[in-house]
Structure 1
Amino acid sequence: MTTKIVYQTVVSGLFLCETDADESPEEPGHFHIPGGAVETPPPESWPGDKWPRWNGAAWELVTRPTASIAESPLDKLKAFLSANPDVEALLNDKP
């Protein structure tokens, strides 16, 4: 079976990895592209603080996402509320 390389993205369009698309056994020359994958390769390299994101038409470099596993959801909520006092005020305002 013939395959070709395609480029898998996550739901937000961020590049995940290279993967294979298999040729259709019933339609030679047509490939089954996995959901979220694109045929256009991402840039060959990018700065460490950037990451390729497919915007639906082309790759763009966006700020590299970071994840903090150590931060709990409660800590994230506290940080959000302290950065957005108007939201906290709305939550504390009881009718």
Structure 2
Amino acid sequence: MAVELMNFPKIEDQKAIQEAASQGLQSMEHLIRFLSHQQQQSNNQLAHINYTDITDHTVPKFKNGISLLNRTGHARFRRNPFQPVHFPTSHPLSL
């Protein structure tokens, strides 16, 4: 197995990763705040909320951060090319 070392992420990549992580966390905080607020109000009034709209906004933020992290890995492992093993041919036994 061969190891290919990658350079550390550039400053621009680090900044993009930080921004994506920050956006993901902010949208998750918004979702948690909304769910908490909704739970408190559910005793007083029933409200029909489509939670998929909020989660559809939150999940891509995390996916963006994950894809940025995958792109800037420090090492990648590759298998060596397949090389068939050649065995010496056996000589048939004559009886």
Q: Do both proteins adopt the same fold according to a TM-score greater than 0.5, normalized to the shorter chain?
A: no
Instruction: Name the larger-Rg structure.
Output: 2
Q: TM-score range by the shorter chain?
A: under 0.3
Bigger share in strand: 1
